[in-house]
Amino acid sequence: MAKDSQTISSLTEETLNAEDNLTAVSFDVNGRSVTLSLDPRVTLLDALREHLHLTGTKKGCDHGQCGACTVLVDGMRINSCLTFAVMHDGQAVTTIEGLAKGDELHPVQAAFLEHDAFQCGYCTPGQIMSAVALLSEPVQHTEDAIRENMSGNICRCGAYVNIVRAVREALANGSLTA
Ligand code: FES
Ligand code: FES
């Protein structure tokens, strides 16, 4: 019993210490100013999904291998599982939820629909965010170049042919809005 009390007491102490270590982070998420108190070890991906409930950004591998967690930070694409949320204080984060304007899809979203560029859809938010960033990057519009520049986004369903078609069309249309 004494041992249990000691365990509970030390757990409470750990919890209090963890709360002491929370760090405030303020950033713009999809055009909305947000301030969170986070353990500095919380990844940007977990801050988005667990704290802001923006679950469109997917957790695939959680190790920087699949691209499912791709978001834009100040317009640049990153794997949100590989970076701590507190590192992005003052920056602008765009997730898949921030692309459409009301009922009007972003051109890349529309291209993915038109070309049926998904199957299960799990990789799709990351694919789309990567493709949106690609519109602002110096990339040739060839199939090879698109495949190379989208190679950080893995699709376990193998929908690559249609993904490349969708991205190619978006590039051709020069849709430069992120
Ligand atoms: Fe981030 Fe796979 S979940 S790269
Ligand atoms: Fe299923 Fe890409 S559509 S993982």
Identify the pLDDT of residue 14: 52
| Ligand 2 midpoint to CA 162 (Å) | 11
0.85 exceeded by the pTM? yes
Domain 2-98 has CATH 3.10.20.30: yes
* Domain ranges for the chain: 2-98, 107-172
Identify the pLDDT of residue 3: 46
Cα distances (angstroms) measured from residue 73 to each of 77, 94, 107: 6, 6, 19
Cβ(122) – ligand 2 distance below 6 Å: yes
Q: Which two tokens stand for residue 41?
A: 């070890």
Cβ(152) – ligand 1 distance below 6 Å: no
Residue nearest to atom 2 of ligand 2 (CA): 155
| Pocket perturbation via mutation, ligand 1, pick of 44, 55, 66 by most ligand atoms within 8 A of CB | 66
Which ligand ends up closest to the CA of 77?
A: 1
- 38 in Cβ contact with 86 (< 8 Å): yes
Q: Note the pLDDT tens digit of each residue in 91-118.
A: 999 999 999 999 999 999 999 999 999 9
Cβ(121) – ligand 2 distance below 6 Å: yes
The rounded distance, in Å, linking the Cα atoms of 118 and 65 is: 19
Task: Answer yes or no: is pLDDT of 13 > 80.
Answer: no
What residues contact residue 178 under an 8 Å CB cut-off, 6+ apart?
Answer: 72, 75, 94, 132, 133, 135, 136
The residue-averaged pLDDT of 45-56 equals: 98
Res. 174 pLDDT band, cuts 50 70 90: confident
Domain 107-172 has CATH 1.10.150.120: yes
Residue 144: Cβ-neighbour burial (10 angstroms; 0-12, 13-18, 19+) = exposed
